[in-house]
Amino acid sequence: MESNSLPIPKDVRWRRLLAVALFLAVLYFFRGLAPVLIIFVIFERGLGYAADQLTKYTRIHRKGAIAGLLALLAGGVGLLVFFFVKRLLAFVELARRDGASWVESVTKSTLIQKMRDRLGIDSQELTSHAKDYALQVFHYATATAYVALFLFVGFILAVMYLFERDEIDEWMSAIRPKSILGTMSRWIGYVADAIAITVRLQIVVAIFNAVFTLPLLILLGLPNVPLLFLLVLASGMVPVVGGVMSGIVLCLVAYDAKGVVGVGVFLGVTFVLGKVESYYLSPRLTAQHVKLPGLVLVVALLMFETIFGFWGLFLSFPALYVASRISNEWKEEEDEIRLQGGTLSMPPPTRRSAPTPAPAAVPASTPPPPPPSETSAPS
């Protein structure tokens, strides 16, 4: 990180420390806008990819493809609102009114009571974390006005960026990469990439869990199969513990419908899905972006959950991804400094390209002098 107007030390290590402190300060002070950034990344990457593919295989201009996709999206949202808005509002009102009592009833079910008696576990110790997480989920899921506002703002920003992407990219290319603005914008770009990768990873995990569980729901004849399918699909978006939460609910429903056999089936399903997610899907998907062992990813997840609570489950992989990108950037910088014969404490001066001189003015061509007139020699 460099600056022509601020007294930044020459030592590269101090520059890195200042850059990281500034980056963390930006993330902290603007943390309230995190939902806007998430929605922006989802719409920008999704619509941008679809528009690029449509432009690639057709003769439609990219902006025309974006406009067509937006019209299609608006039509789909209109139909969804027309057919399901009443049911959605009724569900939200029910969740607001009876969410806490539903969580309390789950923790006092017959199966939970038997587990307490057999294992000798205190009820407070067993249910405190489950209550906290479930109530937080209900709280954030039912804050419809809050979510809708961020959804709208992020969507509008994504549309504006897609229509002006070429101009914005041209403006960003004029910023010096090692300047303060260039460094911060590049690192925030790493955050956006981490969000996109995390969402894509969890979508794959959620679809796998839901498709794997659906045949068992049908074969066991459990009630409300569509709702249970949606529960598994939605809980799959929560890393690691989402499958456990849906597995507990499925065990309770299966116990009421099929007894101990149903509980055994879904305990096995929850165990298998957890192992597949932890040791196959997540490592394979994350290994494409973060070169770390699976054990390190799981330990980092536990540490972030301990520090940040429920939201730490979502922050673990993005933090590792951003740290990995910054570390690779620093390694490339160190290699460049060594090639130029410098050190971290005394780096070589930055080579700035001199401005291209204006072409010299070509003087107007003057006509050649007339040849001397021939005078006759005196006779």
Q: What is the dihedral of CA 210, 215, 220, 221, to 10 degrees?
A: 90
Measure Cα distances from 262 to 112, 179, 215, 235 in Å. Answer: 15, 61, 14, 20
* Residues 117 and 160 occupy one common structural domain: yes
Predicted local distance difference test score (pLDDT) of residue 39:
87
Instruction: Give the single-character DSSP code of 175.
Output: S
Predicted local distance difference test score (pLDDT) of residue 105:
63
* Residue located via tokens 């130029």: 340
Write out the two tokens for 234: 């939605």
* Residues 86 and 166 occupy one common structural domain: yes
Query: Does the residue 41 lie in any domain?
Result: yes
* Residues 125 and 58 occupy one common structural domain: yes
* Residues 184 and 319 occupy one common structural domain: yes
Other beta carbons within 10 Å of 235: 22
* Residues 109 and 62 occupy one common structural domain: yes
Query: Does the residue 22 lie in any domain?
Result: no
* Residues 138 and 200 occupy one common structural domain: no
Nearest-10 crossing angle of helices 180-219, 34-57: 80
- Rounded CA-CA distance 190/8 in Å is 24
Predicted local distance difference test score (pLDDT) of residue 174:
86
- Rounded CA-CA distance 53/59 in Å is 11
Under a CB-based contact definition with an 8 Å cutoff, are residues 112 and 103 in contact? no
Query: Does the residue 47 lie in any domain?
Result: yes
Predicted local distance difference test score (pLDDT) of residue 210:
84
Under a CB-based contact definition with an 8 Å cutoff, are residues 172 and 161 in contact? no
Q: CB within 8 A of 188, min separation 6: which ones?
A: 26
* Residues 289 and 205 occupy one common structural domain: yes
Domain termination residue (choose one: 132, 153, 174): 174
Range of the domain at 280: 179-342
Domain termination residue (choose one: 141, 158, 174): 174
- Rounded CA-CA distance 70/254 in Å is 42
Predicted local distance difference test score (pLDDT) of residue 363:
47
* Residues 229 and 329 occupy one common structural domain: yes
Beta strands in the chain (DSSP E): none
Query: Does the residue 5 lie in any domain?
Result: no
Predicted local distance difference test score (pLDDT) of residue 25:
92
Mean pLDDT by 10 residues, the chain (379 residues): 67 83 90 85 88 85 86 82 68 63 62 61 56 58 65 88 87 84 89 88 84 83 79 78 77 77 78 73 69 73 79 80 88 84 73 47 48 47
Query: Does the residue 367 lie in any domain?
Result: no
Domain termination residue (choose one: 144, 174, 204): 174
pLDDT digits (tens, 9 = 90+) for 185-213: 899 999 998 888 888 888 888 888 888 88
Q: Identify the CA nearest to 62 among candidates 53, 51, 78.
A: 51
* Residues 164 and 79 occupy one common structural domain: yes
Predicted local distance difference test score (pLDDT) of residue 362:
43
Measure Cα distances from 89 to 92, 94, 95, 139 in Å. Answer: 5, 9, 10, 15
* Residues 233 and 315 occupy one common structural domain: yes
pLDDT digits (tens, 9 = 90+) for 50-69: 888 888 888 888 888 888 88
Tally of domains within the chain:
2
Predicted local distance difference test score (pLDDT) of residue 374:
47
Query: Does the residue 284 lie in any domain?
Result: yes
Measure Cα distances from 114 to 122, 129, 257 in Å. Answer: 12, 19, 17
Query: Does the residue 77 lie in any domain?
Result: yes
* Residues 166 and 183 occupy one common structural domain: no
* Residues 190 and 331 occupy one common structural domain: yes
Query: Does the residue 19 lie in any domain?
Result: no
- Rounded CA-CA distance 13/346 in Å is 10
